Amino acid sequence: MSRHRLAAANIGVAVAAFAVASAMGVLQAMSIADIEFPYRTEPLYYLAVTAHGVLMALVFTTFFIMGLGYALSEACLDRITGRRTAWFAFWLALVGTVLTAQTILRGQSSVLYTFYPPLQAHPIFYIGATLLIVGSWIWGGVVIASFRSWRREHPGVPAPLAIHGMLVTIVVWYLATAGLAAEVVGMLIPWSLGWFETIDPVVARTYFWWFGHPLVYFWLLPAYVLWYTVLPTVAGGRLFSDPLARMAFILFVLLSTPVGFHHQFADPGISASWKFAHTISTYAILYPSFVTAFTVIASLEIAGRMKGATGLFNWIGRLPWSDPFFASVALAMISFTFGGFGGAINAAFAMNTMVHNTAWIMGHFHITLGTTVALSFMGATYWLLPRLLGRELRLPALARIQPYLWFVGMALFSISYHVAGLRGMPRRVYSGALNGAYGAEWAGLADIAAIGGTILFVSALAFVTVVAVTWISGRRIEAPAFELAVPLRPVTTMGLWDRLGLWTIVAILLVALAYAYPLLSLLSHERFGSPPYQPF
């Protein structure tokens, strides 16, 4: 246990945040379906949506990723350089999370997880979130320091693939959070403290989406690390190609950030040509995800064939569908084919106007973030716990059905909201019935989504129960090794895709290219600003 305490602590916080947020999720789905339950009010609905979004999208993900980074650093590099600093980062991020969570739960910060001004939260909401981010910056620094220490002892050897992927994740995170820091430290904190009277919503949103899209890749890349480096072993096969994986990761460094305007198609003040430029880079970034799908599926085919499959598709049946890690990741990947398809629709200007701010968007990000990423992380937790805690996984039967339950619940939830969105149902509404007769077009759909939400909640409860029972009373065992995937052809010399420093510089230039002119042009107009609006 002791070597992995840091990783275990971070993952523990992630699971706790997930548990609280899941309970809120099901209540929101019921509220939208206009199902009455005690204490259901509009202010509580917006409080819950804010808490759910922040705890899921920012807290669960960030803490899990930090835990995974430490676990892989121990496993692949045999060290964490700066362990005390890493504990400091953990406590800083935890204190920040508690500060932010309590202003939300007191009803002082119902600004949703996007916190768009002029909605104004309590200053502690922004300050707590800043501490969480600073904690994650220190985490990145510790993983980089561990890598550099390893590098001094292993000159000229390519980084282990899992570490290559985590380093890429950290670079993407630094590039992303630069935009967030500009928004939160430069604008929101001073404004919430009353130092400025007005705020510029378009400028703030531009900084937010500079952060908000690469945020998606900060979530997704650790999932890809698991798909490339753990899944082939669990499936009983080999990694199809190591260089292809390294290339895909580097393409994410380059393309994750200069795409943010695809969230701002409806915003005035940004020219159509800049929106078009970001559309092109958005389509470009689909490519490394296609490469990932190809490489990972090829690795699974190898696994099936190593077990004796000879037909065109019968290797699929030879895969370990009853292993909770395998099932979670496989279902996560299936969800991503639909999520990616929806993403390509969102990125097309004309179709975006059809789905913008509708329930479609909820349907979309619950199959991508809420399933592709979250289900991969849940599955990885089953795989990690015995290795981190030295305890056998308890309630294995529950762990085995949990991913399938999530998949079924999500299908009902997500398909209904996609369709309801196309029929015009807005997102972030207390009740889908508020629109009177028009709402009848989507009433049945909101009901099905609430049933899906209930199944999701049951699945979440199953996951949290397995984790808690294992943690408290799992039988003590010798911790299994981190057996990471062996590529068909091992890579022994450094190549172009290992030059992370160089690619980071190119990425910084691309961010400057994508944002300098639009931001300067926004700021050079006469700005009026908006007074704050404090919800409830």
Sites of contact with ligand HEM (CB under 6 A): 22, 25-26, 28-29, 32, 49, 52-53, 56-57, 60, 112-114, 362, 366, 369-370, 374, 427-428, 453, 456-457, 460
- State in angstroms the smallest separation of the CB of 445 from Cu ion: 25
In this structure, is the dihedral angle defined by the CA atoms of residues 66, 69, 71 and 74, taken in order, positive or negative? negative
Q: Which residue has the CB atom at the shortest distance from Cu ion?
A: 213
**Could you tell which of ligand HEM, Cu ion, none binds residue 213, using a CB distance below 5 to 8 A set by kind?**
Cu ion
| Contacted entry of Cu ion, ligand HEM, none for residue 342, CB cut-off 5 to 8 Å set by kind | none
Q: In terms of CB distance, is 412 or 510 closer to Cu ion?
A: 510
Q: Which residue is nearest to ligand HEM (CB)?
A: 25
**Radius of gyration of the chain measured on its C-alpha atoms:** 23
β-bridge partners, 391: 476
Name the maximum alpha-carbon separation found in the chain.
70
Q: Supply the residues annotated as catalytic.
A: 213, 217, 364-366, 427-428
Residues that bind Cu ion (CB under 5 A): 213
Neighbours of 291 (CB within 10 A): 17
Q: How far apart are CA 409 and CA 411, in angstroms?
A: 5
Q: How far is the CB of 163 from ligand HEM (least distance, A)?
A: 25
**Residue 175: which of ligand HEM, Cu ion, none does it interact with, CB under 5 to 8 A by kind?**
none
Q: Which does 378 bind (CB under 5 to 8 A by kind): ligand HEM, Cu ion, none?
A: none
Question: Taking the complex as a whole, how short is the minimal distance between the CB of residue 213 and Cu ion, in angstroms?
Answer: 4
Alpha-carbon dihedral sign for residues 372, 378, 381, 382: negative
Distance CA 488, CA 189 (A): 51
Report, in Å, the least distance between residue 303 CB and ligand HEM.
28
**From ligand HEM, Cu ion, none, which one binds at residue 369 (CB under 5 to 8 Å depending on kind)?**
ligand HEM
C-alpha distances (whole Å) from 162 to each of 69, 227, 231, 386, 486 are 9, 10, 12, 19, 11
What is the C-alpha separation between 528 and 530, in angstroms, rounded? 7
Count the residues in the chain.
536
What's the closest the beta carbon of residue 334 comes to ligand HEM, in angstroms? Answer: 17
Which of 138/359 has CB closer to ligand HEM? 359
Of the pair 6, 176, the CB lying nearest Cu ion is at 176
Q: Is 468 exposed, middle or buried (0-12, 13-18, 19+ CB in 10 A)?
A: middle
Q: How far is the CB of 47 from ligand HEM (least distance, A)?
A: 11
Intra-chain end-to-end CA distance of the chain, in Å: 46
Residue 173 near residue 181, CB atoms below 8 Å: no
Task: Select 309 or 458, whichever has its Cβ closest to ligand HEM.
Answer: 458
The vertex-46 CA angle with 43 and 48, nearest 5°, equals 105
Closest CA to 359 of 261, 307, 429, 301: 429
Smaller CB separation from Cu ion, 213 or 394:
213
Cα 234 to Cα 488: distance, rounded to the nearest angstrom: 16
Peptide bond into 118 cis (omega under 30): yes
Which of 42, 441 has the CB closer to ligand HEM? 42
Chosen from ligand HEM, Cu ion, none, partner binding at 428 (C-beta under 5 to 8 Å by type): ligand HEM
